[in-house]
Amino acid sequence: MAVLIDTTRTIARINPALHGQFIEFLGECIDGGIWVGPDSEIPHTDGIRQGVLDALKELEPPVLRWPGGCYADTYHWRDGIGPREQRPTTFNENFGTYELDDHAFGTDEYLALCEAIGAQPWINVNMMTGTPAEAREWMEYCNRSGGTDLAALRAANGHEAPYDVRLWGIGNEPWGGGGTMTPSSYVDAYRAFASSMPRFTGSVFETPATYPIASGPDGNKPQERVTWTRDFFRALTAYRQPPIAGYDLHFYNWNIDHEDDTPTAFDQAGWDRVIAGCLELEDVIVEQWGLIEEGLDAVPMPESSLDTRLERIDLVVGEWGNWHRDAFFVRPALRQQVTMRDAITTALTLDILQRHADKISIACNAQTVNVLNSLILTDGDATVLTPNYDVFMMYKAHRGATALAVEPIDAASGVHAFASVADDGTVLVNLTNPSMTDAADVTLEFAAPVRIARRETLAAQTPTLHNTVGAPDAVRRVVEALDADAATTHVVHLPAGSVTVLHAMPARSL
């Protein structure tokens, strides 16, 4: 048996935004992690930790979501603009952070970071303790080109040109910490917030320049997520629809029921359990996409030609990642180490997202720095890149490529596979060996001869190995340039517990 790779069996273009990241005022994700301040002795650029900035510039995350998460629904944006010495001090209780919040990192600092690393901003507005007027003014501050008091305020704070923020999340997890709402009560609130959004166009007939994102269900509740989405669309399609472009599903790979299992100490059962847990996301995506289509089918035809019928809503996965039990008890809040167990689930999750590129427009890893499924950890003045960072770097080549229909698991080897084809004809193949102990050989069968020109492999000497300040490169990807002959069949050897990306060049381009 072999993994068959045919470049004519296409799914959809992989939106680079599927490789998005998420930062929140939680633990030391931002304060103390990304943000050290302009007076810090830690190397920085305008208060942004240099090690983090350099790593993110190399990664080029397509999307960066902020300020939450749960934090968004108690955040008032005016607290975080203007001279820092004049900004108020509040208290941050977000998920056990329990720290004073001086609001030194606010809208302009965040958007400067996005500009520096080439990320599209996604701002979540405060729906629970804020108002539609407050959200609208935030949008005006960010995007109005000039002539208004808010545009002048932005210019006075150092950015005369509009930021042109397109992605706006309306609330966060309203089924839980975002208000413990019902779908109908959330839709009622959403209607006011979304309808008050400025269009930033010259005509009501032009497509709005903003992309409003509604909160979807708790993806970890099998019954609730179905009823939430059905009830959401039932309320949404009653009478006229407000603007809506995306529907934000959150899904965490929980590992919280086993006291002896920690991010860096686990047995074979713990390894297998966590890796199997991430695969549920595929079923959730298929289920939720079907419910979205079911909901859209029920949208009534408008009575007037001036009204438009809602026909498409993208599925968005605004938060995803591994969440281990220890994260609830550590300080700073939700800090986790990262081993190959996490790197493998990160790779498999990205494969799932890319395989459903026809359904999903945006996805964000939770979170980028120092929290949960981190790419970057900081310790004092040190910056450490986790194995998850390597996975995202290895997968960069898939951005903008076309996903291919490939059997996701090779029956012969147990290896997970994904493939895409880039615009230049390069075939990119991901091979993930989920076995904690056993190497594997997988046979690849291409429709036409290819040469494997490049191989990137991420593996560890032991399953619990991780990167630290003392050993920052204990788990690091290996990049090899290969000089193999062109053929339709290739056998690839994979180490135990590894992630591999192959770059295959078609014979005609050699």
**Cβ burial, residue 197 (10 Å; 0-12/13-18/19+):** buried
282 part of the active site: no
φ/ψ of residue 502, rounded to 5: -110, 140
Token pair 């700073």 in the structure block, residue: 332
Give whole-number Cα distances, 31 to 27, 71, 99, 105, in Å.
8, 13, 10, 8
**Cβ burial, residue 156 (10 Å; 0-12/13-18/19+):** exposed
Q: Which of 109, 173, 287, 456 is catalytic?
A: 173
Q: What are the structure tokens assigned to 284, written together?
A: 């959730």
Residues comprising the chain, all counted:
510
Give whole-number Cα distances, 415 to 292, 324, 435, in Å.
32, 25, 8
DSSP reduced 3-state for 223:
helix
Token pair 């069996």 in the structure block, residue: 9
Q: Which of 28, 99, 137, 319 is catalytic?
A: 319
Q: What are the structure tokens assigned to 273, written together?
A: 């359990």
DSSP reduced 3-state for 319:
strand
Apex 56 CA angle, 49 and 96, nearest 5: 65
Query: Is 365:21 a contact under the CB 8 Å cutoff?
Result: yes
Residue 294 host element (H or E): helix 280-297
173 part of the active site: yes
φ/ψ of residue 281, rounded to 5: -55, -35
H helix count then E strand count, the chain:
10, 23
Give whole-number Cα distances, 149 to 137, 146, 153, 166, in Å.
10, 8, 6, 21
**DSSP letter assigned to residue 29:** S
Would you call the peptide bond into 290 cis, given omega within 30 degrees of 0 as the criterion? no
Question: In whole angstroms, what is the distance from residue 47 CA to residue 30 CA?
Answer: 11
**DSSP letter assigned to residue 308:** -
List, by residue number, the catalytic residues. Answer: 173, 319
